[in-house]
Structure 1
Amino acid sequence: MNAEGDASRVSWLVRNRMTVLSLSAVVAYAAFVQWIWGWPVLFRQWAEIGLIPVLSALALLVGTYFIRCYRIYDYFPTETRGRFLTLLRVTQVHNLLNIMLPFRAGETSFPILMRSEFAVPLARSTSALLLMRLLDLHALFAAAGIGLVIARDDQALGWLLWGLFLVSPLALFLLKGSMLALLQRRLPEKLGKLLVEVEAGLPANALVFVRAWLMTVLNWSTKVAVLAWVLATMGVLPFAACFGGALGGELSSVLPVHAPAGVGTYPAGITAGAISFGAPASGSAFDLLASASVNAHLLIIVSAVAGTLLSVLLSPRR
């Protein structure tokens, strides 16, 4: 009997290991924050900002989720037509899982949800997700490049290189036909059939690609601007460091390795980004930056939960 009970507990732990790992990391992180600063100190920062600015920042962050959803809605017009709110729920569940699960394990939920809700083949939705993540990275690196160009002495060359980097996705997209044709000739027949599904997950033409890219730029520029404003409101100086901190935090969230719920990695990304853009690396200013980075991370988590709850309310499951 004991052996059966032990086996059952082990089996439960194996099935729910991701959840257990995520909850353990969150609890440990909460205890660490309490030990270093104390949660009342962090909440006092929000009280000093005021209710209206906090709600405004939260509303703008939730608004970016609608932009992300529209990007996918426009990307799969046939499958999602007339079901925007259902798609919003799918994208929000995927976003929340992506935040809460470690090592980007939540990404696997997107193709599964798209197949169950909209009958989109796994290969096609996975291909679309990969392209969107590449566009996300490109938009963030392009935003970071602005700061690097401004810091250069030879700004003319810097802006030229930045402009070439900015339009590079469109150039690669225009070459996709020849590259896919080459792969189609070289791959075995079975992989060739899979490549057809992968190609179906790419934009049908340059106009669709440009719209997806513009939605990506709008989404990330809004999110980075809001986070930079929040950091500046909390007293992080100079403002360039607030911009760098927002970029650092978001870069940590889209890279392959991140902690459950981003605990530790997201605030570390904010801190590293802010220091690289001129924030002090020691003293009271550094302590302020560290606590502000934790609060900015809390705002991201709250906005993700609020966006998910809103999507569920707007589009309840049948």
Structure 2
Amino acid sequence: MKTPSVESGQSWFLRNRMSLLTVAIVAAYALFIEWFWGWSVILEQWAAVGPRPVIGALILLTSTYFLRTWRIYDYFPRETAGRFATLFRVTQIHNLLNIMLPFRAGETSFPVLMRTEFGIPLTRGTSALLVMRLLDLHALLAAAGLGFAVAAPNAALAWLVWVIFLFLPVFAFAARKPLLRLGAKLLPRKAQALLHEIENGLPFDAVAFGRAWAMTIVNWLVKVLVLAWALGLMGVMPMAASFGGALGGELSSVLPVHAPGGVGTYPAGITAGAVAFGASSERAALDALAQASVNAHLLIIVSALTGTAISLPLGRRGQVRS
């Protein structure tokens, strides 16, 4: 028979196992960086760049969090009216949890927080999040396609395909009803629940969808360009490789397999993307690229922490709306 203290200890461990796993992996990552390069070498890159560009990049990255919040504010206009500050705090907590918890576990916080603060049902919050994540993935793939279109031998055909892909969400929304009916016929019964969730999460009309789609494009464009600029400052060349590295890192952050804090997966995504877009694969160049990818990853984490620190004093927890 277990004593109450033992049961209490086991209960605490079970409740906090995800946080403990995150802390352990981040600590191991920090030790690996110290062993492989040394933190002094990593931080020398920041010293070489200088404080002004670093502060400018942080400001620009943090500004994208306000744009993300505006997208959700516009998505739920009735429930969030007049409570932008509270919504900003909710989105920042969700963003930080999503970064720090493994395997996209932090995503579950969004519908829970939206229900707690604004009275939005869990199913509707989950459905809207699913649609927004699909828009995020599309925007990143469209940005990646931009790089391939620039380098394509048949420029006219490449740009035509890219433009069609860019407007694919608009075409899909316009034809959503027949597409959903077709999907219901073709997909197995278990998968039809996903279609129902997507339908419930769509904006009410074409104008609202257009705003959500446009804000998604602008948000990711700003973030990718800022990261590409930062990688360029840290010596990732050519510029196309910096752009590819930024895309690779952000794509790794929206895929289902995501390490706690993006440890390992985010820098690996940057490295893979940069090499795919023309970075040198020689050993010395790869070593420099790996250091730059770690610093870019740190920049993302610091910007998330900055946004969260700004948001916490804002918007005291209000009464749940019915």
TM-score (norm 2): 0.92
Give the equivalent residue in structure 1 for 2:14.
Answer: 14
| Secondary structure of residue in 2 paired with 1:313 | coil
Contact 1:228 1:246 in 2 (8 A): yes
Give the equivalent residue in structure 2 for 1:189.
Answer: none
| Secondary structure of residue in 1 paired with 2:313 | helix
**Residue identity in the other structure for 2:52:** I
**Residue identity in the other structure for 1:304:** A
Matching of residue 62 in structure 1 with residue 67 in structure 2: no
**Structure 2: any 5+ residue segments left out of the alignment?**
187-191
Matching of residue 74 in structure 1 with residue 74 in structure 2: yes
In 2, Cα distance between equivalents of 1:116 and 1:56: 35
* CA deviation profile, 1:112-143 (whole Å, cap 9, x unmatched): 00001011111111111001000000000000
| Secondary structure of residue in 1 paired with 2:113 | helix
Contact 2:83 2:315 in 1 (8 A): no
Give the equivalent residue in structure 2 for 1:290.
Answer: 290
Distance 1:158 1:184, change over 3 A: closer
Contact 1:123 1:198 in 2 (8 A): no
Give the equivalent residue in structure 2 for 1:40.
Answer: 40
Give the equivalent residue in structure 2 for 1:313.
Answer: 313
Matched ranges for 1:110-189 at <5 A: 110-180=110-180
Give the equivalent residue in structure 1 for 2:240.
Answer: 240
Give the equivalent residue in structure 1 for 2:231.
Answer: 231
* CA deviation profile, 1:220-239 (whole Å, cap 9, x unmatched): 00000000000000111111
Give the equivalent residue in structure 2 for 1:270.
Answer: 270
Give the equivalent residue in structure 2 for 1:221.
Answer: 221
Distance 1:195 1:132, change over 3 A: closer
* CA deviation profile, 1:289-318 (whole Å, cap 9, x unmatched): 000000000000000010011011233446
**Structure 1: any 5+ residue segments left out of the alignment?**
187-191
Give the equivalent residue in structure 1 for 2:208.
Answer: 208
In 2, Cα distance between equivalents of 1:110 and 1:23: 22
- Bigger mean CA deviation after superposition, 166-175 or 243-252: 166-175
1:273 Cα deviation after fit: 0.3
- Bigger mean CA deviation after superposition, 267-276 or 159-168: 159-168
Contact 1:22 1:102 in 2 (8 A): yes
In 1, Cα distance between equivalents of 2:99 and 2:19: 12
- Bigger mean CA deviation after superposition, 170-179 or 264-273: 170-179
* CA deviation profile, 1:50-83 (whole Å, cap 9, x unmatched): 1111100000000000000000001110000100
Name the Cα RMSD after superposition.
Answer: 2.3
- Bigger mean CA deviation after superposition, 39-48 or 80-89: 39-48
Identical-pair percentage: 62
In 2, Cα distance between equivalents of 1:280 and 1:183: 44
Distance 1:179 1:277, change over 3 A: closer
Give the equivalent residue in structure 1 for 2:189.
Answer: none
**Residue identity in the other structure for 2:18:** M
Contact 1:230 1:296 in 2 (8 A): yes
| Secondary structure of residue in 1 paired with 2:93 | helix
Distance 1:57 1:204, change over 3 A: same
In 1, Cα distance between equivalents of 2:193 and 2:252: 35
Contact 2:130 2:201 in 1 (8 A): no
